[in-house]
Amino acid sequence: MSWQLFVSLRYLTSRHREKFISIISLISILGVAIGVGALIIVLAVMSGFDEELKERLIGTTSHVVIESEFGINPTPEIMSKVLGTEHVIDASFFTHGQALIRKDENVSGIVLRGVDPSAEKKVSRIGEYLKSGTLDLGADGILVGSELAGRLSLKIGDKITVITSACIEGKELKVCGIFTSGMYEYDANLAYVNMPKAQEVFGVKGLVSGIAVKVDDAFNAPLVRRALREDLDRSMTVRTWMDMNKNLMSALKLEKTVMFIILTLIVMVACFNIASTLIMTVLEKTKDIGILKAIGAKDSDIMAIFAMQGGMIGFLGTITGALFGMGMCWLLKTYQFINLPQDIYYIDKLPVRLEPMDILLVVASGMVISLLATIYPSYKASRLDPVESLRYE
């Protein structure tokens, strides 16, 4: 152990003549700990919401969607080409378009999606989202979202009429299932029918709107998009789930960045206490500094002593805060004692996800800010004149 570190430890742990300095040191440690802990908890909750939202987005839509303005001829050749692309594990044809749904005097605009139920379960999580009823759509069945069902007072077995521009007289269908994806936009505006019925009401017999593609890893979707654009006809548009929700993803990323900056300011405010502690310690230890310089200590040695003392305060606060933050995140994730109003958030428990990189970034930021707070007091201590320090002793 270097003598500079030994002296800084003595200054940190010894009883001060001024009790107020010890109290300020403790407040400094607690301030940094609270700031770091709050930062870790908030980032973990935001990462949890981010992951939960992505799961719901990917669960309702497929990883990659291939569409054409002129429709796609659902041939085995095009399906084999899609399935032969690296990272693709499944695919399914679909037809969709705008429609009106009417129950008695109630009318609502929806997106009507025609699918093969057995194939759709392989490319999306619609089977997991089924709240009541069945996915067996039959010839005249329709699967509706829970918000849409609530708005039109629909229940299993009810008869509704679907109207499109190609079928103005409307087609009568029977509600065979209700799903809840957790995304208001889908639950309030999306309905499923079988493929032949969708082709009939949209007047596109023999054609489909596109192909839904499932990838082995959601984040491999851009690679699949690039490969499909090279292999398929130029008239076809290939989009990933990220492309379809680009604004939402950007907003989430920006929100997390802003929250990190705001909460880092809390850590910075706490670190001002470290500077205050060191300044008062320098004033109290003026005689000691004079003696050390008189026996040969360099300016850099004095600066190192007080920088180490402040660094140790920051280290204790940062580590304490990190342990507190991770402990709270573990409690929130394990016992889920914070309930959320499901009609607002569609999530009944607070989602928490600890990212190792977030923890490292927070700890590193706390340490760097703490060390920066020691620069001025340490520099002023190193500039003390030993003659002036000892003149009146």
Output the DSSP codes for 210-271. EEEEEESSGGGHHHHHHHHHHHS-TTEEEEEHHHHTHHHHHHHHHHHHHHHHHHHHHHHHHH
Question: Which whole number is the average pLDDT over 45-66?
Answer: 85
User: Which segments within the chain are labelled E, that is strand?
Assistant: 64-72, 88-103, 106-115, 130-133, 141-145, 159-164, 167-179, 190-194, 208-215, 236-240
- 207 and 94 in a single domain? The answer is yes
Split into its structural domains, the chain has a count of 2
- 365 and 264 in a single domain? The answer is yes
Least confident stretch, 71-75, 85-89, 256-260, 365-369: 256-260
Q: Which residue among 244, 260, 288 closes a domain? A: 244
Q: How far apart are the C-alpha atoms of 20 and 280, rounded to whole Å?
A: 9
Question: Which whole number is the average pLDDT over 264-287?
Answer: 78
Q: Which residue has the higher pLDDT, 102 or 52?
A: 102
- 32 and 147 in a single domain? The answer is no
The β-bridge partners of 288 are none
Task: Say if residue 171 is exposed, middle or buried (CB neighbours under 10 Å; 0-12, 13-18, 19+).
Answer: middle
The radius of gyration computed from the CA coordinates of the chain, to the nearest angstrom, equals 32
Residue 121 phi/psi, 5-degree rounding, is -65, -25
Q: Is the dihedral of CA 324, 330, 331, 336 positive or negative?
A: positive
Residue spans of alpha helices (H) in 336-355: 342-345
pLDDT-derived band at 14, boundaries 50, 70, 90: low
- Whether 198 contacts 113, CB under 8 Å: yes
- 268 and 158 in a single domain? The answer is no
- Above 80 in pLDDT, residue 285? no
pLDDT-derived band at 8, boundaries 50, 70, 90: confident
pLDDT of residue 344: 66
| Residues 6+ away with beta carbon under 8 Å from 308 | 4, 5, 8
Instruction: Give the position of tokens 């002023």.
Output: 380
Q: Which residue among 244, 278, 312 closes a domain? A: 244
- Above 70 in pLDDT, residue 245? yes
How crowded is residue 137: how many other Cβ atoms within 10 Å of its Cβ? 23
- 153 and 89 in a single domain? The answer is yes
Per-residue pLDDT tens digits for 192-210: 999 999 999 999 888 999 9
What is the pTM (predicted TM-score) of this model? 0.75
pLDDT-derived band at 21, boundaries 50, 70, 90: low
pLDDT of residue 222: 93
- 37 and 122 in a single domain? The answer is no
Q: How far apart are the C-alpha atoms of 200 and 162, rounded to whole Å?
A: 11
pLDDT of residue 17: 52
Q: How far apart are the C-alpha atoms of 87 and 110, rounded to whole Å?
A: 33
Q: How far apart are the C-alpha atoms of 211 and 65, rounded to whole Å?
A: 6
- Above 80 in pLDDT, residue 176? yes
Question: Which whole number is the average pLDDT over 160-165?
Answer: 92
- Above 90 in pLDDT, residue 295? no
- 231 and 313 in a single domain? The answer is no
Task: Say if residue 25 is exposed, middle or buried (CB neighbours under 10 Å; 0-12, 13-18, 19+).
Answer: buried
- 217 and 159 in a single domain? The answer is yes
- 14 and 51 in a single domain? The answer is yes
Per-residue pLDDT tens digits for 301-353: 888 888 888 888 888 889 999 999 999 999 988 888 787 776 666 666 788 99
pLDDT of residue 106: 87
- Above 80 in pLDDT, residue 280? no
- 7 and 47 in a single domain? The answer is yes
- Above 90 in pLDDT, residue 13? no
pLDDT of residue 112: 94
Task: Determine the Cα angle at 208 with ends 207 and 214, to 5°.
Answer: 145
Q: How far apart are the C-alpha atoms of 232 and 129, rounded to whole Å?
A: 32
- Above 70 in pLDDT, residue 35? yes
The residue length of the chain stands at 393
Task: Determine the Cα angle at 243 with ends 48 and 78, to 5°.
Answer: 120
- 73 and 216 in a single domain? The answer is yes
- Above 70 in pLDDT, residue 75? yes
- Above 80 in pLDDT, residue 282? no
Q: How far apart are the C-alpha atoms of 124 and 62, rounded to whole Å?
A: 6
- Above 60 in pLDDT, residue 67? yes
pLDDT-derived band at 391, boundaries 50, 70, 90: low
Q: What is the CB-side half-sphere exposure of residue 131 using CA atoms within 13 A? A: 16
Question: Which whole number is the average pLDDT over 170-193?
Answer: 90
- 239 and 252 in a single domain? The answer is no
- Above 70 in pLDDT, residue 159? yes
What is the residue range of 74's domain?
62-244
pLDDT-derived band at 15, boundaries 50, 70, 90: low
Q: What is the CB-side half-sphere exposure of residue 392 using CA atoms within 13 A? A: 2
- Whether 301 contacts 342, CB under 8 Å: no
Q: Which residue among 223, 244, 265 closes a domain? A: 244
